[in-house]
A and B are shown apart, each in its own frame.
Chain A
Amino acid sequence: MDVLGNYKSAISARSTDKDITRKSQDGGIITTLFAYALEEGIIDGAIVAGPSDEPWKPEPMVATTKAELLAAAGTRYTISPNLYLIKEATRSYGLDRVGIVGVPCQIQAVRKAQVYPIGMRDVDDKIALALGIYCMENLSYQALEAIVEDHCNQKMESVKKMDIGKGKFTVYTERGAVSQMPLKLIHKYVQPGCHVCLDYVANLADISSGSVGSPDGWSTVFVRSMKGNAVWDGAMAAGLFETQPMDQVKPGLDLVKKLATEKITKNQKHVDERKTIGLKADGTPKGLRNPYESP
């Protein structure tokens, strides 16, 4: 399969809703799509990374209104275990049509829960819309704290926005300060589980989106499944997005492809290296588990 996965179309897009773009990370694609899906009854609620008591630490939540979606808009560069609520959403919240957003590994988990619903009772046909976000790697909360407070010298609670782009991790504070650090310095903080991930652009999502490949304030969108296609067409017809053809924007799809290839090649190498991490007494290679081969 292509490093970008199967997709029906790739578009550069931006939400036309100013309430959303004021709060969103880039083009506001995910928030706008969920708001549209809620409005149209395509979903009854969406599992998103909502706010918590600690600054910039996301807490999975079920959003059933646009206001709740807006409270969850924007990227926080740390783990939000959204799958935690997937069964709960069909129980305590009683949702028949669940939306869920996640990074590639979480969308993989969603599809595994649908195809192999071992402990995920009554979930498979209730996933109405799975939206994916591009992800190179993720950080634990403590790692993010170290990066923002130790490297960028800003307090977590004073940060207004964090952003990754052009090789830098950038922190914008409420008072207008901008702190940056080179992206390559944060690699040592990445959680180890990310190094075996072979998916950059959420290949299994209905629609996936991220900033890479599009101009500032815009997002690159892959429409992947039949369901995703129907939702995207509906949102377009409702005038919720302005779009540009992918081949007419800079830096374009080539950059997405380049980063996807880099991630997958590097991580495949890591998966392969795990096979021979040590030596057995007889000198043969001793390996670690390969999650893609067998349990």
Chain B
Amino acid sequence: MADKISIGELHLSGCTGCLVTIADNYEGLFKLLDDYADLVYALTLVDVRHVPEMDVCLVEGSCCLNDELSVEELKEARAKSKVLVAYGACAAYGNITRFCRGGQWNQPAHESFVPISEVVDVDLYIPSCPPCPQQVRNVAVMAYLLLKGNDEQKQLATAYLTPLMQLAQRGNEACGCDLMYDVINQGLCMGCGTCAGTCPVRAVTMEYGKPNVNRDQCIKCGACYSQCPRSWFNFDVMNNYEGIMGAIKGAMQ
């Protein structure tokens, strides 16, 4: 028990898909909770009313500036957690809440929604809508190794988490356009099809080997860009894919 890390999920303006995604690890979630992490705060899953101290706080949803409680809870979570994660596209990039214009039941005045990094400092991004259960699992295992592991494990976890931390530094706007700006315009795209394969709303198609983004369909989740092998690629981690996949699989057994 003492060796576990504590994880919480703060739910702001999101659809709860990210929370469901945690549960989508199925028996893996029980393994995580048995051996690696205590879930200390989460809507419906944990009966705790006020944000507690925790090692890792996953924040789901964007922050509604017209909702005092949201802003306060986000600030409190930042103050009380060692690592704050923008969990999912709404928290990281705004996602569909970027398109809000208020006037909805039952709080018509709620109309200003921002990615959480506009309110507090964020340590790490897990983009996509929703993020994949396997990615949350990997981050949870790596966070455990980072906080409780030996030197070698800490080194591995740092190398693994670095690009996700760099995404948090990169900014809080992302959409299919990033493929154009930061990959194609930069002469980096080689037409592998990852972006089109990863898009959750099928807004990306491949035209003559290069991505074409339907902007009306794009929800600004950042999945295409962060999954693209030419947005970032860390050889030290990826060359050891067999070892890392094996280690995570081993940790989950």
B175 at the interface (CB under 8 A from A): no
Whether B135 lies near A79 (C-beta < 8 A) is: no
A95 at the interface (CB under 8 A from B): no
Q: Which of A119-127, A212-220, A249-257 sits within the interface?
A: A119-127
CB interface residues, A 72-131, toward B, < 8 Å:
78-88, 102, 105-106, 108-109, 111-125
B245 at the interface (CB under 8 A from A): yes
Whether A79 lies near B223 (C-beta < 8 A) is: no
A interface bracket (residues with beta carbon within 8 Å of B): 35 or more
Residue in chain A with minimal CB distance to B232:
A295
Distance A88 CA – B237 CA, assembled complex (angstroms): 26
Beyond A115-B237, A295-B163, A295-B226, is A81–B132 a contact (Cβ under 8 Å)?
no
CB < 8 Å neighbour of A122 from B132, B186, B187, B209: B132
Q: Which of A24-32, A38-46, A285-293 sits within the interface?
A: A285-293
Whether A119 lies near B132 (C-beta < 8 A) is: yes
Q: Which of A136-144, A156-164, A238-246 sits within the interface?
A: A136-144
Whether B190 lies near A117 (C-beta < 8 A) is: no
Whether A81 lies near B191 (C-beta < 8 A) is: yes
Q: Which residues of B contact A142 (CB under 8 A)?
A: 208
CB < 8 Å neighbour of A82 from B166, B192, B226, B231: B192
Tell me how far the C-beta of B247 lies from the nearest C-beta in chain A, rounded to whole angstroms: 11
Q: Which residues of B contact A23 (CB under 8 A)?
A: none
Whether B200 lies near A294 (C-beta < 8 A) is: no
A194 at the interface (CB under 8 A from B): yes
Residue in chain B with minimal CB distance to A86:
B197
Distance A113 CA – B238 CA, assembled complex (angstroms): 10
Beyond A84-B197, A191-B190, A288-B186, is A204–B208 a contact (Cβ under 8 Å)?
no
Distance A34 CA – B18 CA, assembled complex (angstroms): 36
Tell me how far the C-beta of A270 lies from the nearest C-beta in chain B, rounded to whole angstroms: 9
Q: Which residues of B contact A138 (CB under 8 A)?
A: 190-191
Whether B187 lies near A60 (C-beta < 8 A) is: no
Distance A276 CA – B200 CA, assembled complex (angstroms): 37
Q: Which residues of B contact A203 (CB under 8 A)?
A: 239
B interface bracket (residues with beta carbon within 8 Å of A): 35 or more
Whether B229 lies near A109 (C-beta < 8 A) is: yes
Q: Which residues of B contact A293 (CB under 8 A)?
A: 232
Residue in chain A with minimal CB distance to B246:
A226
Q: Which of B33-41, B48-56, B97-105, B123-131 sits within the interface?
A: B123-131
Distance A1 CA – B241 CA, assembled complex (angstroms): 14
Residue-wise interface mask of A (171-202) relative to B, using a CB-CB cutoff of 8 A (1 in contact, 0 not): 00000000000000000000111111110000
A209 at the interface (CB under 8 A from B): no
Whether A102 lies near B192 (C-beta < 8 A) is: yes
Tell me how far the C-beta of B230 lies from the nearest C-beta in chain A, rounded to whole angstroms: 5
Q: Which residues of A contact B188 (CB under 8 A)?
A: 192-193, 196, 289, 291
Distance A60 CA – B205 CA, assembled complex (angstroms): 12
- The interface centre, meaning the residue of B163, B197, B198, B223 with most chain A CB atoms within 10 A of its CB, is B197
Residue in chain B with minimal CB distance to A124:
B134
B112 at the interface (CB under 8 A from A): no
CB < 8 Å neighbour of B193 from A82, A124, A289: A82
Q: Which residues of B contact A82 (CB under 8 A)?
A: 192-193
Tell me how far the C-beta of A75 lies from the nearest C-beta in chain B, rounded to whole angstroms: 15
Q: Which residues of A contact B186 (CB under 8 A)?
A: 288-289
Residue in chain A with minimal CB distance to B224:
A119
Whether B187 lies near A118 (C-beta < 8 A) is: no
Whether B234 lies near A204 (C-beta < 8 A) is: no
Residue-wise interface mask of B (221-253) relative to A, using a CB-CB cutoff of 8 A (1 in contact, 0 not): 101111111111111011101101100010000
Whether A294 lies near B232 (C-beta < 8 A) is: yes
Whether A81 lies near B196 (C-beta < 8 A) is: yes
Q: Which residues of B contact A193 (CB under 8 A)?
A: 187-191, 230
Whether B163 lies near A294 (C-beta < 8 A) is: yes
B199 at the interface (CB under 8 A from A): yes
Q: Which residues of A contact B187 (CB under 8 A)?
A: 192-193, 195-196, 288
Whether A113 lies near B193 (C-beta < 8 A) is: no
Q: Which residues of B contact A125 (CB under 8 A)?
A: 134, 249
Whether B192 lies near A295 (C-beta < 8 A) is: no
Instruction: Other than A81-B193, A192-B187, A294-B170, give 19 A-B pairs with Cβ distance below 8 A.
Output: A60-B193, A83-B193, A102-B192, A105-B192, A106-B192, A109-B193, A111-B238, A112-B194, A113-B198, A117-B132, A117-B138, A118-B227, A122-B132, A124-B245, A197-B190, A291-B232, A295-B170, A295-B225, A295-B226
Lowest 3 CB-CB distances: which A-B pairs, in order? A81-B193, A79-B209, A119-B223
Residues of A within 8 A of B (CB): 1, 6, 60, 78-88, 102, 105-106, 108-109, 111-125, 138, 140-142, 191-198, 203-204, 225-226, 288-289, 291-295
A-B contact pairs, 5 of them (CB 8 A): A81-B209, A118-B127, A125-B249, A193-B230, A295-B163
